[in-house]
Protein backbone atom coordinates (compact mmCIF):
# COMPACT_ATOMS: atom_id res chain seq x y z
CA UNK A 1 0.00 0.00 0.00
CA UNK A 2 1.36 3.39 -0.90
CA UNK A 3 1.70 5.93 1.87
CA UNK A 4 -0.24 8.34 -0.30
CA UNK A 5 -0.19 12.06 -0.04
CA UNK A 6 -1.78 12.50 3.37
CA UNK A 7 1.09 13.70 5.49
CA UNK A 8 1.08 16.33 8.17
CA UNK A 9 2.73 17.34 11.37
CA UNK A 10 1.41 17.90 14.84
CA UNK A 11 3.18 20.03 17.41
CA UNK A 12 3.08 18.72 20.94
CA UNK A 13 1.10 20.85 23.34
CA UNK A 14 1.85 21.40 26.99
CA UNK A 15 -0.37 23.00 29.61
CA UNK A 16 1.46 25.22 32.03
CA UNK A 17 -0.14 25.87 35.38
CA UNK A 18 1.09 28.96 37.18
CA UNK A 19 1.78 28.50 40.90
CA UNK A 20 -0.92 29.67 43.28
CA UNK A 21 -0.24 32.94 45.10
CA UNK A 22 -1.62 33.73 48.54
CA UNK A 23 -4.10 36.61 48.52
CA UNK A 24 -2.19 38.42 51.29
CA UNK A 25 1.08 38.42 49.38
CA UNK A 26 2.25 42.03 48.78
CA UNK A 27 1.50 43.35 45.32
CA UNK A 28 5.17 43.46 44.31
CA UNK A 29 5.67 39.82 45.28
CA UNK A 30 2.54 38.75 43.40
CA UNK A 31 3.81 40.49 40.29
CA UNK A 32 7.22 38.86 40.67
CA UNK A 33 5.64 35.41 41.14
CA UNK A 34 3.58 35.94 37.98
CA UNK A 35 6.62 37.06 35.98
CA UNK A 36 8.64 34.09 37.27
CA UNK A 37 5.87 31.71 36.22
CA UNK A 38 5.76 33.21 32.71
CA UNK A 39 9.53 33.03 32.39
CA UNK A 40 9.53 29.39 33.53
CA UNK A 41 6.80 28.56 31.03
CA UNK A 42 8.75 30.17 28.18
CA UNK A 43 11.92 28.33 29.18
CA UNK A 44 10.09 25.00 29.36
CA UNK A 45 8.53 25.58 25.95
CA UNK A 46 11.92 26.42 24.44
CA UNK A 47 13.48 23.29 25.93
CA UNK A 48 10.67 21.12 24.58
CA UNK A 49 11.01 22.65 21.13
CA UNK A 50 14.60 21.44 20.95
CA UNK A 51 14.01 18.05 22.58
CA UNK A 52 10.75 16.87 20.99
CA UNK A 53 10.65 16.05 17.31
CA UNK A 54 7.60 16.54 15.18
CA UNK A 55 5.11 13.70 15.00
CA UNK A 56 4.37 12.53 11.45
CA UNK A 57 0.82 11.50 10.54
CA UNK A 58 0.74 9.17 7.54
CA UNK A 59 -0.94 6.17 5.94
CA UNK A 60 0.26 2.86 7.32
CA UNK A 61 2.13 0.32 5.23
CA UNK A 62 0.77 -3.22 4.95
CA UNK A 63 3.54 -4.65 7.15
CA UNK A 64 2.71 -2.22 9.96
CA UNK A 65 -0.69 -3.75 10.71
CA UNK A 66 0.54 -5.90 13.61
CA UNK A 67 2.42 -2.98 15.19
CA UNK A 68 -0.70 -0.80 15.09
CA UNK A 69 -2.94 -3.62 16.30
CA UNK A 70 -0.68 -4.34 19.28
CA UNK A 71 -0.61 -0.62 20.15
CA UNK A 72 -4.42 -0.61 20.10
CA UNK A 73 -4.66 -3.61 22.41
CA UNK A 74 -1.99 -2.30 24.78
CA UNK A 75 -3.74 1.07 25.09
CA UNK A 76 -7.16 -0.54 25.41
CA UNK A 77 -5.92 -2.60 28.36
CA UNK A 78 -4.58 0.51 30.07
CA UNK A 79 -7.48 2.91 29.57
CA UNK A 80 -10.62 1.19 28.28
CA UNK A 81 -10.77 -2.31 29.69
CA UNK A 82 -12.60 -1.20 32.84
CA UNK A 83 -15.62 -0.08 30.79
CA UNK A 84 -16.06 -3.54 29.25
CA UNK A 85 -17.83 -6.58 30.69
CA UNK A 86 -16.19 -9.99 30.38
CA UNK A 87 -18.27 -10.52 27.26
CA UNK A 88 -17.11 -7.16 25.92
CA UNK A 89 -13.44 -7.93 26.57
CA UNK A 90 -13.77 -11.25 24.78
CA UNK A 91 -15.56 -9.69 21.81
CA UNK A 92 -13.13 -6.77 21.49
CA UNK A 93 -10.16 -9.12 21.52
CA UNK A 94 -11.82 -11.31 18.91
CA UNK A 95 -12.57 -8.29 16.71
CA UNK A 96 -9.09 -6.81 16.97
CA UNK A 97 -7.25 -10.06 16.24
CA UNK A 98 -9.67 -11.32 13.59
CA UNK A 99 -7.71 -11.98 10.35
CA UNK A 100 -10.69 -10.55 8.45
CA UNK A 101 -9.99 -7.11 9.95
CA UNK A 102 -6.47 -7.15 8.57
CA UNK A 103 -7.86 -8.34 5.25
CA UNK A 104 -10.17 -5.32 5.16
CA UNK A 105 -7.12 -3.10 5.65
CA UNK A 106 -5.07 -4.83 2.97
CA UNK A 107 -7.97 -4.67 0.50
CA UNK A 108 -8.51 -0.97 1.16
CA UNK A 109 -11.91 -1.38 2.82
CA UNK A 110 -10.45 0.20 5.95
CA UNK A 111 -7.87 2.97 5.82
CA UNK A 112 -5.26 3.01 8.56
CA UNK A 113 -3.34 6.14 9.53
CA UNK A 114 -0.56 6.15 12.09
CA UNK A 115 1.31 8.74 14.14
CA UNK A 116 5.06 8.21 14.04
CA UNK A 117 7.27 9.78 16.69
CA UNK A 118 10.98 9.14 17.10
CA UNK A 119 10.74 6.33 14.51
CA UNK A 120 8.03 4.54 16.48
CA UNK A 121 4.28 4.26 15.96
CA UNK A 122 2.59 5.97 18.92
CA UNK A 123 -0.95 6.42 17.59
CA UNK A 124 -3.35 4.97 15.05
CA UNK A 125 -6.83 5.42 13.61
CA UNK A 126 -8.86 3.17 11.34
CA UNK A 127 -11.47 4.50 8.93
CA UNK A 128 -14.00 1.99 7.63
CA UNK A 129 -15.74 2.58 4.31
CA UNK A 130 -14.31 6.14 4.29
CA UNK A 131 -16.79 7.31 6.94
CA UNK A 132 -16.67 5.36 10.23
CA UNK A 133 -13.84 5.79 12.73
CA UNK A 134 -12.58 2.56 14.22
CA UNK A 135 -9.69 1.88 16.59
CA UNK A 136 -8.45 5.33 17.55
CA UNK A 137 -5.67 4.80 20.07
CA UNK A 138 -2.69 6.84 21.29
CA UNK A 139 0.08 5.62 23.59
CA UNK A 140 -0.57 6.75 27.14
CA UNK A 141 2.80 8.50 27.49
CA UNK A 142 1.98 10.93 24.66
CA UNK A 143 -1.75 11.43 25.17
CA UNK A 144 -3.10 14.99 25.51
CA UNK A 145 -0.45 16.39 23.17
CA UNK A 146 -2.60 16.76 20.06
CA UNK A 147 -1.85 13.43 18.41
CA UNK A 148 -5.39 12.07 18.66
CA UNK A 149 -6.79 15.27 17.21
CA UNK A 150 -4.31 15.19 14.35
CA UNK A 151 -5.30 11.61 13.55
CA UNK A 152 -8.99 12.52 13.49
CA UNK A 153 -8.31 15.55 11.29
CA UNK A 154 -6.31 13.36 8.91
CA UNK A 155 -9.17 10.87 8.66
CA UNK A 156 -11.67 13.72 8.20
CA UNK A 157 -9.65 15.21 5.35
CA UNK A 158 -9.40 11.83 3.68
CA UNK A 159 -13.19 11.48 3.95
CA UNK A 160 -13.83 14.98 2.59
CA UNK A 161 -11.66 14.25 -0.43
CA UNK A 162 -14.01 11.36 -1.20
CA UNK A 163 -17.18 13.38 -0.86
CA UNK A 164 -18.17 12.04 2.55
CA UNK A 165 -20.44 14.43 4.44
CA UNK A 166 -20.04 13.11 7.98
CA UNK A 167 -17.85 10.88 10.11
CA UNK A 168 -19.40 8.50 12.63
CA UNK A 169 -17.88 6.78 15.63
CA UNK A 170 -18.94 4.55 18.52
CA UNK A 171 -17.06 6.36 21.25
CA UNK A 172 -15.90 4.58 24.37
CA UNK A 173 -16.81 6.29 27.62
CA UNK A 174 -13.14 7.15 28.13
CA UNK A 175 -12.94 8.98 24.77
CA UNK A 176 -16.29 10.76 24.92
CA UNK A 177 -14.90 14.09 26.16
CA UNK A 178 -12.16 13.96 23.53
CA UNK A 179 -14.64 13.53 20.68
CA UNK A 180 -16.78 16.36 22.00
CA UNK A 181 -13.68 18.57 21.93
CA UNK A 182 -13.35 17.65 18.24
CA UNK A 183 -16.93 18.88 17.58
CA UNK A 184 -18.56 15.46 17.42
CA UNK A 185 -22.09 15.38 18.81
CA UNK A 186 -24.03 12.48 20.32
CA UNK A 187 -26.57 10.91 17.99
CA UNK A 188 -28.02 8.54 20.58
CA UNK A 189 -27.92 7.39 24.16
CA UNK A 190 -25.15 5.36 25.78
CA UNK A 191 -25.52 1.83 24.44
CA UNK A 192 -24.37 -1.61 25.51
CA UNK A 193 -23.80 -4.01 22.63
CA UNK A 194 -21.98 -7.35 22.83
CA UNK A 195 -20.75 -6.34 26.28
CA UNK A 196 -19.24 -3.06 25.05
CA UNK A 197 -20.48 0.36 26.19
CA UNK A 198 -20.33 3.17 23.67
CA UNK A 199 -21.96 6.44 22.65
CA UNK A 200 -22.84 6.88 18.96
CA UNK A 201 -21.50 10.18 17.61
CA UNK A 202 -21.20 12.11 14.37
CA UNK A 203 -19.08 14.90 12.96
CA UNK A 204 -20.44 16.94 10.05
CA UNK A 205 -17.76 17.58 7.45
Is 11 part of any domain? no
Asked if residue 10 belongs to a domain, the reply is no
Q: Would you state the pLDDT for residue 27?
A: 60
**Domain extent for 169:** 52-204
- E strand map for the chain: 8-10, 55-59, 110-117, 120-128, 132-138, 166-171, 185-186, 191-193, 196-204
Which DSSP state fits 156?
H
d(CA 54, CA 51): 10
pLDDT number for residue 50 = 36
Specify the pLDDT at position 148.
93
> 5 or 186: whose pLDDT is higher?
186
Q: What is the CA radius of gyration of the chain?
A: 20
pLDDT digits (tens, 9 = 90+) for 143-166: 888 899 999 999 999 999 999 999
Given a contact cutoff of 8 angstroms between Cβ atoms, the answer to whether 114 and 58 are in contact is: yes
In the chain, what percentage of residues exceed pLDDT 70? 79
- Region 106-114: mean pLDDT is 94
Is 12 domain-assigned?
no
Average pLDDT over residues 104-133: 94
| 58 within a domain of the structure (yes/no) | yes
30-34, 60-64, 136-140: segment of lowest average pLDDT: 30-34
State the pTM of this model.
Answer: 0.73
**Residue 54: per-residue pLDDT:** 74
Of residues 157 and 41, more confidence is placed in 157
**CA dihedral over 67, 71, 73, 74, signed as positive or negative:** positive
Q: Assess if residue 174 is contained within a domain.
A: yes
| Angstrom distances, CA of residue 33 to CA of 37, 40, 47, 93, 162 | 6, 10, 21, 51, 53
Cα–Cα distances in Å, from 118 out to 55, 126, 142?
8, 22, 12
Give pLDDT tens digits for 161-194: 999 999 999 999 889 999 999 999 999 999 988 8
Residue-wise pLDDT for 60-98, tens only, equals 999 999 999 999 999 988 888 777 888 988 999 999 999
Where b means 16+ CB within 10 Å and e means fewer, 95-130 reads eeeeeebbebbeeeebbbbbbbbeeebbbbbbbbeb
CA separation, residue 55 to residues 52, 140, 178, 184 (Å): 9, 15, 19, 24
Q: Given this model, what pLDDT does residue 78 score? A: 86
Instruction: Look at residue 38 and tell me if it is in a domain.
Output: no
Mean pLDDT of 129-133: 95
pLDDT of 11 strictly over 90? no
How many separate domains does the chain show?
1
For residue 87, the domain's CATH number is 3.40.630.30
Query: Which residues on neighbouring strands pair with residue 126, listed in sequence order?
Result: 112, 134
In a domain, 20, yes or no: no
Amino acid sequence: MDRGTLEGHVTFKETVVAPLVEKKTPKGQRKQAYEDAIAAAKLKKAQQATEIRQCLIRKADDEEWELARDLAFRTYEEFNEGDYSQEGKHNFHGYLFDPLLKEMFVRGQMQLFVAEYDDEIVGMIGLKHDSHISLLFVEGAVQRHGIGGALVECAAQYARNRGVKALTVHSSLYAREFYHSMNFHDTGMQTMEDGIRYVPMELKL
